[in-house]
Structure 1
Amino acid sequence: MDKLLMHSPDLTERNIDKIAQLFPTVITEGRDDDGNPTNAIDFDLLRQELSAHVIEGPQERYQLDWPGKREALFAANTPIAKTLRPVPEGSVGFDTTRNLFIEGDNLEALKLLQESYLGKVKLIYIDPPYNTGNDFIYADTFARTRDEELKRSGQVSDDGVAMVSNSSANGRFHSDWLSMIYPRLKLARNLLSDDGVLVVSIDENEHSNLVALGTEVLGRDAYVGEIVLKNSSKNDQGYISMQHEYIVFFVKNKSANVGAWVERKEGLEQIYAAFDGFRKTHGDDWIAINKAAKEWFKRFPPSDPISASKHYTWMDLKGVYFPDNISGPNDGQYVYELLHPQTGKPCKMPSTGWRYPEVNMRERVAQGRVHFGPDHTTVPNNKTYLANTETQSLTSIRYVDGRAASKRLQTLFGEKVFTNPKDEYLLRDIYKAVGVSGEDLVLDMFAGSGAALHAVLELNLTTGSQCRFIGIQIAEDLNVSLKTAKGTARKVTTNAIKLLNELGKPATVAEIGKQRLRLIAAQFQNKAPLLDAGFRALKVDTTNMEDVLRVPDALSQDELELFTDSIKPERTGEDLLFQVLLDWGLELTMPIEVEIVDGKEVFVVENGALSACFDDEVTPALVREIARREPLRAVFRDSGFATDADRINAEQVFAEVSPATDVKAI
């Protein structure tokens, strides 16, 4: 039952609604005095609507603007006191893999990766929340305390990152989404290599904003096109039923990435197999083969990739072809008689003449590369062979049955645990088309079920490449999602929770992605044992350093020893090592060996790129032995030196034995 308002109507809000009906372009998004989302009037635009001449106002420029943009930029630039902690027990091949899966807020993870992966990522794929009005988006507000953020959002993930429902009734519906994605794109750009590509899946709700924002962040020429992906047959919307989504492409630098993007046509194997069958049935009766091919192609609807090659209906001893244009590009290009091989009479000539000089044409005829009609009354054609045209430019329209990817994922897990996963085969083909190869690095900062990461492994399997991936996914609590889920989504979420509980894993979206990778790694162990299908699991966490909550004057003499060690007691040497890797800008998949030197644990990273000892007692013998090995970098625990003299002596040892080593303490 609705309740009475028990107060007078809000006339301001009513007036804004009336103005919106008359002048919809003057309505913008904002917040009221209490910080609540609301509609507002752009008075400069309203004055212009009511004026017969140009009104003076703020300087205009072409840009995408929204309430909260400055705060979003601040969020991108604000430093954080966090680190990435290794989770060996949740990894596959922790010691040998070159892949990463990071659990935590992707904005924080991107900040932590800035030094180690600056300019090293060939392709970034993101599948962000689509802003349908039901999705949850990240609330990036570092200025608030944790309690304030919990009060504001009413919901928080396992790792303390607030997520809020972005209802379409929200007065900042688009602004909140833009504020979420903007700082992430800013940080992602830094990680892209000069020839890097950003690929974004999006639907119609934020498509235009994404294109505008992408060109602002990556540059005016960054947007290079999109694939319209038909993946639905629903017919349940008003006005126009949306049966597609978009895959939008940006490049960081057009001069470094010239866009020579090609893909192999789909359905070629089926076409070749069909013509092999026609040949077995009809022998060298090319006309009969042509008739059979035409009938065969009729089976395929326009949505089937095979239909795009339906003009290849002829065959000869060299293979499958279609009769292509042989006329000259200019009127009267080459004019001469070309005799029909059967009638011996001059063939009908194209209106603009022949494409080739006479001597070249006769060579082509001798080589069987000209298709003649039944007699001389028809114009001959070039033979364009399918074997010579197997690749094409990346095309802008795709038909993908979304049920196929869902079915494969269901088969992998044994039951349906994720709704609407992306198609790993489509992503694999996109990677290949845009030039991801060799040891290139792919990053997905909204990893979800792990489809984009799985696609990297499929690319390696089919091409023999050794590409690597970094996946980032927040530990979104499935139990929280279950409270609002309905219908199929509720059933799928329940399945996922049950499965992860049986495995002894946390019921989170991040764990679904990791479990998928574990299952794929087990499959690849049989069919491609030399392929790196593992991943090194990491987790965004608070810094390893103790929080300093007192100023020196607040400490008494007898308390000083309690605060001499600046490292949290529960943190391991491996935890410290990964924070050092981040601080030094080293890749987080470098091989790590643990050695015992003078009774102390020493981490040796990539054969001496870094040697680290975080023991509580650093001995002179240990220091000298590490120096003798001449690592590029060496790091010790500051409190591991008994006195300042010991620390100074250690520096002197390195200056004498290994002067090129960069020595630091934490």
Structure 2
Amino acid sequence: MDKMRMESVDMTAQNIEKIGAMFPNCITETVDENGKPKKAINFELLKQMLADEVIDGDEAYEFTWVGKKAAIVEAHKPIRKTLRPCKEESKNWDKTENIYIEGDNLEVLKLLQESYLNKVKMIYIDPPYNTGNDFIYNDDFKMTGEEYSDEIGEIDADGNRMFKNVDSNGRFHSDWCSMIYSRLSIARDLLANDGVIFISIDDNEVDNLRKICDEVFGEKNFISQIIVQTNPRGRTFDRFIAKTHEYIIVYVRDVKFDALHDIPKDESSVARYQKREGDRKFRLLELRNRNPVFNRTNRPLMFYPLYADPDKLDVSLIPTERHTVEIFPRNSIGVDGCWTWGREKAANEIHLLVANLANTGKWSVFRKDYLEGTSLYTKSKGLWTEKEMNHEKGKEMVRQLFGLTPFDFPKSIDYIKKCLLIGTSCHDDIILDFFSGSATTAHAVMQLNAEDGGNRKFIMVQLPEKTDEKSEAYKAGYKNICEIGKERIRRAGAKIKEETGADIDYGFRVLKLDDSNMTDVYYSADEYDQNMLSKLESNVKADRSDIDLLFGCLLEWGLPLSMPYKSEQIEGCTVHTYNDGDLIACFDKNVPDNVIKTVAKRKPLRAVFRDNSFANSPAKINVTEIFKLLAPDTRVKVI
């Protein structure tokens, strides 16, 4: 019977296996820090396998910084952590499919690797902009937290891993690049093939972010660098130019997929549809291609005559007794251009074409564009200037909910909603924000679901960073950012429900990052001596509940954290069934055979027990035989 790993995926080992499958001759062996053998890659041989010539020397097109190699290693290093459920701080725990996670987002992303691999449709993040005044995550790649704290004093007594990255720091840009690189490297794997990521940023790190994203997501998957006007009046404290905008960097997981959607037309665009046929609104668009780059020379198949009835103004592809006016796509000075439709398209849609005699005395052909179907939507522009994008709108929304403004520059929910409209459909898409802040993204997801009947689901991740004791938030009782975010979701949900009456998911499950549920001796036994082993009676920490263990198993077995589950008593044992049999778990001691048989007869996909659920090795063998007989396809493990 296999034993569960109880740590995050070792992505380096997985990558070595993948390379070994393609180039087995490039796999060698070395020893780890404990002197134990492990697989490694012969990079010199791998380079030879991948190149016609040996490439030596330092000249190469690359983007690097101090600490980049350590950031790459850190992104792939496994951790022994878990996510512990917190029902009392959740809302609608049993029914909700939304998740709110408290903890360092690098470690949380590692834990989500199995459960949400290729399942996230959209990521939105608003990371620190590295202005010299904000805080960034301090990922220590060289020492333990205690060693680092002793050396430079940047980790407080509670283990908080944030520090103020002032521009006098010799690693000012490098620290920020390392922080964002490791997180984006892991986040990419969570994106679905048709997934998209939106990253808000300003001038301080936009160039570095673009280079990092080109490396992580691939330059070909870059979509846009959107300019968003967030402060029309301009920042008065800027020295020379008053900044009015910031950026959203947009990348897709794979440009081959249709990851992005058109958005509904705004009021000014809809107002252009002033003509009517019954209840249908339409406008007339000139059929001639008005772009001078396209003409008869380079689009010869799009240059042909159309024939109009001068009285009824309908159009034909061939001359008839009525259609006597020949019209070519020529501009105002008589230069041959081309139509926007070819002959086949014109033949199929001929009922949409009408002729018109302009004031110049020249005939033109127009097409009817009805305000319905795809015409209700348009591509998003690369410049967002709507007043709804302003930071003041974000502040006002938070003020309405709390009566105070706990954040200086909260994003407007319309800002995030526009990203959601571009990056998601309304059906079951998962949205991840691992710099959640005040939980604007969660608010926007609920608001948009209420407006279009969608079932989008959110995963928010936020470090419980302490609020300033002088701040309005602290004085109002909010001791850290997570308390603000969770309360905002509660209040925003109540407000949306009151205003719209929409029957959507307003809840969220709270999970908190913590050390492993398991005692170290069972999973890191080489660090202990024999005397310590004899004193330990259980492999599970004393403060951990069945539900803690259940969710730890979900992470390792790659199951979503938002599915329903039930707990029941069977012959005095507590049995947990997750999502109708995706997993059945029993963590009691000395589980009797009848309970094992009951579980096996339900034929779950997975079953898990504690190591001490069985009295001895023969009992374990008996369990294996029961499942072979009653549920041969069930995977059984112990913790």
**Residue identity in the other structure for 2:305:** Y
- Secondary structure, aligned partner of 1:563: coil
* Larger mean Cα displacement after TM superposition, 395-404 or 204-213: 395-404
Distance 1:507 1:335 in 2: 72
1:520 counterpart letter in structure 2? A
**1:377-456 equivalence runs, <5 A:** 377=361, 380=364, 382=366, 385=369, 387=371, 389-399=375-385, 400-456=389-445
Q: What CA distance in whole angstroms lies between the structure 2 residues aligned with 1:261 and 1:409?
A: 29
Q: Aligned partners of 1:75 and 1:579: how far apart in 2?
A: 22
Q: State the Cα distance separating 1:663 from its structure 2 match.
A: 1.4
Q: C-alpha offsets along residues 512-540 of structure 1, whole Å, 9 cap, x if unaligned?
A: 11111111232344434531121111011
**Structure 2 counterpart of 1:496, one-letter code:** A
Query: What secondary structure does 1:566 align onto?
Result: coil
Aligned mates of 2:367, 2:533 — CA distance in 1: 88
Identify the match of residue 516 of structure 1 among 488, 496, 501.
488
CA root-mean-square deviation:
3.4
Rg larger in 1 or in 2? 1
> How far 1:324 moved relative to its partner?
3.5
Any conservation in 2 of the 1:394–1:433 contact (CA below 8 Å)?
yes
> Residue type of the partner of 1:403?
E
Partner of 2:535: 562
| Alpha-carbon distance between aligned partners in 2 of 1:598 and 1:101, rounded to the nearest angstrom | 35
* 1:96–1:591 CA contact under 8 A, matched in 2: yes
Please name the residue that 2:262 is paired with: 262
> Counterparts of 1:341 and 1:560 in 2: how far apart (Å)?
96
Q: Distance in 2 between matches of 1:157 and 1:93?
A: 34
| Number of residues of Structure 1 aligned to a counterpart in Structure 2 | 548
Q: Residue 410 of structure 1: CA displacement?
A: 1.3
User: Partner of 1:24 in structure 2?
Assistant: none
Give how far 1:463 is off. Answer: 2.5
Q: Secondary structure at the match of 2:543?
A: coil
Q: Specify the alignment match of 1:236 in structure 2.
A: 237
Relative to structure 1, the CA distance from residue 434 to residue 149 in structure 2 (aligned partners, 3 Å threshold; closer, same or farther) is same
Q: Is the aligned partner of 1:608 residue 2:585?
A: no
Amino acid in the other structure paired with 1:227: I
Partner residue of 2:283? 321
Would you identify which runs of 4 or more consecutive aligned residues in structure 1 move more than 6 Å? Answer: 335-338, 345-349, 360-368, 549-553
- Alpha carbons of 1:653 and 1:357: their partners in 2 closer, same or farther (altered >3 Å)? closer
Does the aligned pair in 2 maintain the 1:158–1:477 contact within 8 Å? no
> Among 614, 625, 631, which residue is 1:658 paired with?
631
The normalised TM-score by structure 2 is 0.78
The question of 1:334 aligning with 2:309 is answered: no
Aligned equivalent of 1:496: 473
Tell me the distance in 2 between the aligned counterparts of 1:384 and 1:246: 36
CA contact (8 A) 1:153 1:163 kept: no
Offset of residue 657 of structure 1: 2.3
Distance, in Å, in 1 between the alignment partners of 2:479 and 2:103 is 14
Q: 1:530 aligns with which of 495, 498, 503?
A: 503
2:514 counterpart (527, 538, 541) = 541
Give the distance between the partners of 1:363 and 1:658, measured in 2 at CA.
59
CA gap 1:163/1:646 in 2 versus in 1, 3 angstroms: same
Instruction: Give the 3-state SS of the residue equivalent to 1:515 in structure 2.
Output: helix
CA distance in 1, matches of 2:361, 2:126: 57
Residues of 2 paired with 1:153 and 1:533: CA distance? 43
CA distance in 1, matches of 2:157, 2:562: 26
Structure 2 CA distance for partners of 1:441 and 1:334, relative to 1, 3 Å:
same
Measured at CA, do residues 550 and 589 of structure 1 come closer, stay the same or move farther in structure 2, by a change above 3 Å? Answer: closer
Distance 2:70 2:325 in 1: 77
CA contact (8 A) 2:352 2:368 kept: no
Percent sequence identity is: 35
**Matching residue of 2:555:** 582
| DSSP-derived class of the 1:62 partner | coil
Structure-2 residue corresponding to 1:468: 457
CA spacing shift, 1:590–1:261, aligned 2, 3 Å: closer
Encode CA deviations 1:571-611: one digit per residue, 9 max, x unaligned. Answer: 11110111111111111112110101111111111111111
Q: 1:126 Cα shift?
A: 1.1
Cα pair 1:153 1:164 within 8 Å, conserved: no
> Helix, strand or coil: the match of 1:220?
helix
| C-alpha distance after superposition, 1:231-269 (max 9, x if no partner) | 1122432343321110011111111x2466322222259
TM-score by length of 1: 0.75
- Secondary structure at the residue paired with 2:535? helix
Code of the aligned partner of 1:264 = P
Q: 1:198 maps to what in 2? A: 197
Q: CA deviation at 1:64?
A: 0.8
Q: Is the 8 A contact 2:121 2:423 kept in 1?
A: no
Alignment-mate amino acid for residue 334 of structure 1 = P
Question: Which runs of no fewer than 5 residues in structure 1 stay unpaired?
Answer: 1-56, 273-311, 483-489
- Larger mean CA deviation between 63-72 and 405-414 belongs to 405-414
Tell me, yes or no, if structure 1 residue 172 matches structure 2 residue 146: no
